[in-house]
Amino acid sequence: MRPIRQNATAQLRAAVVNLSPCATTQRHISMWGRKMSYRSLLVLLVLFCFSLATISAQTVTGSITGSLIDPHGAVVPDAKVTLTSESTGAVRQINSDQRGEFTFNALPPDTYTLTVEHAGFKPEEELGT
Protein backbone atom coordinates (compact mmCIF):
# COMPACT_ATOMS: atom_id res chain seq x y z
CA MET A 1 0.00 0.00 0.00
CA ARG A 2 2.84 2.30 0.70
CA PRO A 3 4.05 2.45 -2.91
CA ILE A 4 0.61 3.60 -4.09
CA ARG A 5 0.57 6.43 -1.57
CA GLN A 6 4.04 7.59 -2.59
CA ASN A 7 2.96 7.42 -6.18
CA ALA A 8 -0.13 9.54 -5.42
CA THR A 9 1.99 12.04 -3.50
CA ALA A 10 4.44 12.24 -6.39
CA GLN A 11 1.55 12.82 -8.83
CA LEU A 12 0.14 15.53 -6.57
CA ARG A 13 3.51 17.27 -6.36
CA ALA A 14 3.85 17.08 -10.13
CA ALA A 15 0.40 18.61 -10.49
CA VAL A 16 1.26 21.42 -8.07
CA VAL A 17 4.53 22.07 -9.90
CA ASN A 18 2.70 22.11 -13.23
CA LEU A 19 0.04 24.48 -11.92
CA SER A 20 2.46 26.95 -10.46
CA PRO A 21 3.92 28.19 -13.77
CA CYS A 22 0.39 28.57 -15.16
CA ALA A 23 -0.71 30.70 -12.23
CA THR A 24 2.43 32.83 -12.50
CA THR A 25 1.99 33.15 -16.25
CA GLN A 26 -1.65 34.19 -15.85
CA ARG A 27 -0.71 36.83 -13.31
CA HIS A 28 2.03 38.08 -15.60
CA ILE A 29 -0.34 38.27 -18.56
CA SER A 30 -2.87 40.09 -16.42
CA MET A 31 -0.26 42.62 -15.33
CA TRP A 32 1.06 42.94 -18.88
CA GLY A 33 -2.48 43.43 -20.15
CA ARG A 34 -2.97 46.29 -17.70
CA LYS A 35 0.26 47.91 -18.85
CA MET A 36 -0.78 47.48 -22.45
CA SER A 37 -4.10 49.20 -21.82
CA TYR A 38 -2.32 52.23 -20.35
CA ARG A 39 0.13 52.23 -23.25
CA SER A 40 -2.70 51.94 -25.74
CA LEU A 41 -4.51 54.82 -24.09
CA LEU A 42 -1.33 56.91 -24.18
CA VAL A 43 -0.77 56.12 -27.87
CA LEU A 44 -4.36 57.06 -28.69
CA LEU A 45 -4.03 60.30 -26.76
CA VAL A 46 -0.82 61.23 -28.59
CA LEU A 47 -2.37 60.38 -31.98
CA PHE A 48 -5.41 62.48 -31.11
CA CYS A 49 -3.22 65.46 -30.21
CA PHE A 50 -1.29 65.14 -33.48
CA SER A 51 -4.53 64.94 -35.44
CA LEU A 52 -5.74 68.17 -33.83
CA ALA A 53 -2.47 69.86 -34.78
CA THR A 54 -2.80 68.78 -38.41
CA ILE A 55 -6.46 69.77 -38.58
CA SER A 56 -5.69 73.28 -37.41
CA ALA A 57 -2.72 73.46 -39.79
CA GLN A 58 -4.89 72.81 -42.82
CA THR A 59 -5.81 75.96 -44.70
CA VAL A 60 -7.62 76.62 -47.94
CA THR A 61 -5.41 78.26 -50.52
CA GLY A 62 -5.24 78.41 -54.28
CA SER A 63 -2.94 79.54 -57.03
CA ILE A 64 -3.13 81.59 -60.20
CA THR A 65 -0.98 80.51 -63.11
CA GLY A 66 -0.70 82.04 -66.54
CA SER A 67 1.30 82.38 -69.74
CA LEU A 68 1.95 85.70 -71.43
CA ILE A 69 1.75 85.64 -75.23
CA ASP A 70 1.72 88.65 -77.56
CA PRO A 71 -0.78 89.01 -80.45
CA HIS A 72 1.70 87.31 -82.83
CA GLY A 73 1.99 84.20 -80.61
CA ALA A 74 5.45 84.96 -79.17
CA VAL A 75 6.04 84.54 -75.44
CA VAL A 76 6.58 87.64 -73.31
CA PRO A 77 9.45 86.97 -70.85
CA ASP A 78 10.33 89.19 -67.90
CA ALA A 79 6.98 91.00 -67.80
CA LYS A 80 5.91 92.54 -64.49
CA VAL A 81 2.81 90.72 -63.20
CA THR A 82 0.93 92.25 -60.26
CA LEU A 83 -1.85 90.58 -58.31
CA THR A 84 -4.01 92.76 -56.04
CA SER A 85 -6.60 91.46 -53.56
CA GLU A 86 -9.85 93.37 -54.01
CA SER A 87 -10.97 92.93 -50.39
CA THR A 88 -7.70 93.58 -48.53
CA GLY A 89 -5.67 95.53 -51.08
CA ALA A 90 -2.70 93.18 -50.55
CA VAL A 91 -0.32 93.27 -53.53
CA ARG A 92 1.95 90.52 -54.85
CA GLN A 93 4.33 91.13 -57.69
CA ILE A 94 6.49 88.76 -59.77
CA ASN A 95 8.13 88.69 -63.21
CA SER A 96 7.27 86.11 -65.84
CA ASP A 97 9.98 83.54 -66.59
CA GLN A 98 11.77 82.96 -69.93
CA ARG A 99 8.77 80.99 -71.23
CA GLY A 100 6.42 83.86 -70.34
CA GLU A 101 4.85 81.90 -67.48
CA PHE A 102 4.00 83.07 -63.96
CA THR A 103 2.50 81.53 -60.83
CA PHE A 104 1.12 83.04 -57.64
CA ASN A 105 0.96 80.30 -54.95
CA ALA A 106 -0.73 80.05 -51.55
CA LEU A 107 -3.46 82.59 -52.25
CA PRO A 108 -6.33 82.84 -49.79
CA PRO A 109 -9.82 82.73 -51.31
CA ASP A 110 -10.61 86.20 -52.65
CA THR A 111 -11.26 88.14 -55.83
CA TYR A 112 -8.10 89.53 -57.43
CA THR A 113 -7.11 92.05 -60.07
CA LEU A 114 -4.26 90.92 -62.33
CA THR A 115 -2.12 93.55 -64.08
CA VAL A 116 0.61 92.83 -66.64
CA GLU A 117 3.18 95.43 -67.72
CA HIS A 118 6.09 95.16 -70.16
CA ALA A 119 8.09 97.69 -72.15
CA GLY A 120 6.62 98.13 -75.65
CA PHE A 121 3.15 96.97 -74.58
CA LYS A 122 0.29 98.85 -73.01
CA PRO A 123 -0.56 97.63 -69.49
CA GLU A 124 -3.23 94.93 -69.44
CA GLU A 125 -5.58 94.55 -66.48
CA GLU A 126 -8.04 91.75 -65.70
CA LEU A 127 -10.60 92.45 -62.99
CA GLY A 128 -12.33 89.82 -60.86
CA THR A 129 -9.89 86.96 -61.27
| 54 and 67 part of one domain | no
* Average pLDDT of the residues in 10-27: 46
What does the alpha-carbon distance between residue 16 and residue 14 come to, in Å, rounded to a whole number?
5
| 47 and 66 part of one domain | no
| 67 and 53 part of one domain | no
Q: Domain boundary at 26, 43, 58, which? A: 58
Full domain range(s) for residue 11: 1-58
| 22 and 73 part of one domain | no
| 77 and 117 part of one domain | yes
| 24 and 72 part of one domain | no
| 78 and 46 part of one domain | no
Q: Which of 65, 81, 66 has its CA nearest to residue 121?
A: 81
Q: Sheet of 112-117: strands edge to edge?
A: 91-95, 80-85, 112-117, 124-126
- Which parts of 1-129 fold into alpha helices (H)? 2-57
pLDDT above 70 for 16: no
24-59 pLDDT per residue, tens: 444 444 445 555 566 666 676 777 767 766 665 567
| 30 and 69 part of one domain | no
Give the total number of structural domains in the chain.
2
pLDDT above 80 for 110: yes
Highest mean pLDDT of the ranges 3-7, 11-15, 61-65: 61-65
Query: What's the mean per-residue pLDDT of the chain?
Result: 76
The pLDDT, as a whole number, for residue 35 is 53
The pLDDT, as a whole number, for residue 36 is 54
The pLDDT, as a whole number, for residue 125 is 92
| 40 and 53 part of one domain | yes
pLDDT band for position 21 (cuts 50, 70, 90): very low
Q: Domain containing 76 — which CATH number? A: 2.60.40.10
| DSSP strands (E only) in 70-117 | 80-85, 91-95, 101-107, 112-117
92-107 pLDDT per residue, tens: 999 999 999 999 999 9
* Cα dihedral 91/97/101/103 (nearest 10): -40
The pLDDT, as a whole number, for residue 5 is 52
| 9 and 46 part of one domain | yes
User: Is-above-0.85 flag for pTM?
Assistant: no
Phi and psi angles of residue 117, each rounded to the nearest 5 degrees, phi first:
-130, 140
